[in-house]
Amino acid sequence: MKQNVGTVDRNVRLVVGAILILAAIAAYAGLFSLSAAVTAVVFLVGVILFGTGAARTCLIYSLLGLDTAHADGEETTADGTTGRTS
């Protein structure tokens, strides 16, 4: 699948995803109170954000025709890595 998540977008997804995953784990461990359903949703959203950030591909972006990877001046090379263009 074509990479369509840019650097800033990727970093935000990775950080927010990790925070949500940790929050869900903390809630499950009883450090603060959330219902089981809310904890599961928070965990799932965190995993999706972290996964799309790590893979640099977002299915929703593909369906909507969005591409933040190439919108912020990045160019995808043949080996799948990205680099900034001038």
Could you give the 3-state DSSP secondary structure of residue 82?
Answer: strand
Contacts of 70 (CB under 8 A, 6+ apart): 4, 6, 76
Q: pTM, whole model, 2 decimals? A: 0.79
Residue 62: inside a domain: yes
Residue 28: inside a domain: yes
DSSP 80: S
Domain count within the chain: 1
User: Token pair of 77, please?
Assistant: 């090379």
Instruction: Residue 13: give the domain boundaries.
Output: 7-69
Q: How confident is the model at residue 86 (pLDDT cuts 50, 70, 90)?
A: very low
Amino acid in the structure at residue 84: R
pLDDT in tens, 18-70: 999 999 999 999 999 999 999 999 999 999 999 999 999 999 999 999 999 98
Q: What is the pLDDT of residue 74?
A: 56
Q: How many CB atoms lie within 10 A of CB 81?
A: 11
